[in-house]
Amino acid sequence: MKVSELPYERVTIEEVKEKLPQLVERIRSAKSVEEVLAAREDYRAFQKRFYTNASLASMRYTINTVDEFYVAENEYYDEIGPEAQALAQEYAKAMLESPFRPELEEKLGTLVFRQWEIELKSMSPAIIEDMVEENKVVMEYSKLMAGMDFEFRGETMPRSVLMGFAKSEDRATRKECYEALGRGLAAHSAELDDIFDRLVHIRDRMAKKMGYKNFVELGYYRMGRLAYGEEDIKVFRENILKDIVPVVAKLRLENAKKLGIEGDFMIYDNDVVIPGGDPKPLGKEAIFKAAKEMYHAMGEETGRFIDMMMEAEAFDVDSRKNKWGGGYCTAFELYKQPFILANFNGTAGDVDVMTHEAGHALNAWFTFDNEPFEAQMGMETAETHSMSMEFFAWPYMDKFFGDRAADYRFMHALDALTFIPYGTIVDYYQHLVYENPDMTPAERKACWNELEAKFRPWISTKGIPYIEEGTRWQYQMHIYESPFYYIDYVLAQTAAFEFLLASQEDYDDAFRRYIALSKKGGTELWPQLLEEAGLASPFTPGALAEVAGKVEKLLESIR
């Protein structure tokens, strides 16, 4: 069945309030472990139906943010979501408190029980109204960004199209692009400041109602983190500052000379790597054809996966007004169907959709039937699947870029290494903001610029309208929509680089280990998955020094 044909039916809060308490009571009154597991099966079926329909509503809203029906449906799930989550917590409590817990842990594993314990710390009925308000404000931001227009050389376009010019080989064009970006954002400055200020205070209020010092602790619980905490991230951050930042600064400034850049290395120079212009893919149809050939060449399983995605038309990649401006992979569990949304703009980023997002989709396809259904993988695990697939696609890049495949590999690796300091800024910034929720908008912008100077010292924003004030974060949608998610990309990037280095020595062995990791889904914690895949943990001091050195040598060999 094509994704466009998947049936949608609203699951009402009235049905949730009727069904979940009945299932919880069955678990609490069960006379045997078999009765608990039977009730759990019915709970699973209901939850799959609820979340599949919620995901369908969300997806159909993002492909057209002015579709009145799905705008209303998406808003409905945002409104009832917190209450539904509170009712689902009663299920978690019942499972945790079951007298048959030892037998249940033997059947389901201990990890899901630890996740339920974290879930109970992530929300409370006392903050339901705040969560509803938070969802509404996030939606306000999403609509603002989706509908935002930018004027560039006499034309009006969405940001996704505008940023295609940031990859131009012509420096003047890139500068104009960023100037247009800054002017367009500046026109909405008051709204962007106000929306974020409200979100910070709503989230701070929720945390304090639950007895936490600030939103940072609650934010970690909301991300379901079991594998690491704030202290681990501090070590990771220092590893990046000590071992990654100097290598990136050296490589980018060396590369700037090859690009003919004199004087300051500007923010609009950071999007281009290859002299004469970064490689561009051969076009939309060619990208899809190449992706199909690539996944069939990788193996029988990956071949069946891409055939399924193509037959289901499980992609929406065309940029257009009123379409959500980012990219994602989601899944409709009831139908065992992944789906990918993106905004093609003619740059190499279009190919990343067929590698990064397809890495997510492949993992979803592998794990729809994993036990236990409730076990949720950490986002660092999910992003390891996607970022690693980007690198495993390297041998097939000639299919996407022709004789510029080597240029792509150099650009991709340097961009990926460059991303690590940026992603660290995004996460560190959120820690500082939520630890100091009463910062003014001006103080928040100054804070961003201080972090930029520390983690990306090679870049200048001087003279770029609005951006120079410290506002780059305002179009990083995760900061508004998914607090504390972003460090997961950074952690995953370090693991992906380890897979890349391993693939340079023995591709088949590295890919086998990658597929094994992906198939485990959320059944194990990330550090354990890394260890089983033969990868190192990034949480020990100095852990990234060897990776940084080897990636630098790899880049030199490609160049």
CATH number where 431 lies: 1.10.1370.30
Q: What single letter denotes the amino acid at residue 290?
A: A
Q: Are residues 248 and 391 in the same domain?
A: yes
Q: Are residues 113 and 252 in the same domain?
A: no
Is 267 part of a structural domain of the chain? yes
Is 222 part of a structural domain of the chain? no
- Is the model's pLDDT at 373 over the cut of 70? no
% helix / strand / coil in the chain, to the nearest 5? 70, 5, 25
Q: What is the 3-state secondary structure (H, E, C) of 61-103?
A: HHCCCCCHHHHHHHHHHHHHHHHHHHHHHHHHHHHHHCCCHHH
Q: State the pLDDT at residue 324.
A: 86
Q: Are residues 410 and 525 in the same domain?
A: yes
* Closest residue by Cα to residue 389 from 361, 423, 348: 361
Q: State the pLDDT at residue 326.
A: 80
Is 526 part of a structural domain of the chain? yes
Whole-angstrom distance, CA of residue 451 vs CA of residue 479: 15
- Token pair listed for 106: 């033997």
Cis ω for the linkage preceding 372 (within 30 of 0): yes
Asked which of 110, 126, 142 is the last residue of a domain, the reply is 126
Q: Are residues 260 and 385 in the same domain?
A: yes
Whole-angstrom distance, CA of residue 559 vs CA of residue 553: 10
* Closest residue by Cα to residue 389 from 264, 229, 514, 553: 514
Tokens 């609650």 map to which residue? 218
Q: Are residues 121 and 232 in the same domain?
A: no
- Is the model's pLDDT at 33 over the cut of 70? yes
Contact status, residue 89 vs residue 120, Cβ threshold 8 Å: yes
Contact status, residue 163 vs residue 475, Cβ threshold 8 Å: no
Q: Are residues 403 and 523 in the same domain?
A: yes
Is 344 part of a structural domain of the chain? no
pLDDT digits (tens, 9 = 90+) for 395-443: 999 999 999 999 999 999 999 999 999 999 999 999 999 999 999 999 9
Whole-angstrom distance, CA of residue 275 vs CA of residue 279: 10
- Is the model's pLDDT at 375 over the cut of 80? no
Q: Give the residue numbers spanning the domain of 48.
A: 3-126
Contacts for 288 with CB less than 8 Å, ≥ 6 apart: 310, 315, 354
Q: What single letter denotes the amino acid at residue 50?
A: F
Is 396 part of a structural domain of the chain? yes
Cis ω for the linkage preceding 279 (within 30 of 0): no
Angle subtended at Cα 267 by Cα 263 and Cα 270, rounded to the nearest 5 degrees: 90
Mean pLDDT value of segment 535-553: 95
Angle subtended at Cα 404 by Cα 403 and Cα 409, rounded to the nearest 5 degrees: 130
Distance of CA 527 to the CA centre of its chain: 19
Query: 200 in helix, strand or coil?
Result: helix
Q: How many helices (H) and strands (E) does the chain have?
A: 25, 5
Asked which of 64, 93, 126 is the last residue of a domain, the reply is 126
Domain total of the chain: 2
Is 137 part of a structural domain of the chain? no
**How buried is 436 (Cβ within 10 angstroms: 0-12 exposed, 13-18 middle, 19+ buried)?**
middle
Its pTM stands at 0.91
pLDDT digits (tens, 9 = 90+) for 172-220: 999 999 999 999 999 999 999 999 999 999 999 999 999 999 999 999 9
Relative to beta strand 328-332, strand 337-344 is antiparallel
Whole-angstrom distance, CA of residue 233 vs CA of residue 537: 12
Relative to beta strand 315-318, strand 337-344 is parallel
- Token pair listed for 314: 């499980």
Q: What percent of the chain has pLDDT over 70?
A: 99
For residues 293 and 352, the model is more confident at 293
Is 424 part of a structural domain of the chain? yes
Question: For the chain, what is the mean pLDDT?
Answer: 95
Is 149 part of a structural domain of the chain? no
Asked which of 91, 126, 161 is the last residue of a domain, the reply is 126
- Is the model's pLDDT at 13 over the cut of 70? yes
What one-character DSSP code corresponds to residue 343?
E
- Is the model's pLDDT at 371 over the cut of 80? no
pLDDT digits (tens, 9 = 90+) for 458-514: 999 999 999 999 999 999 999 999 999 999 999 999 999 999 999 999 999 999 999
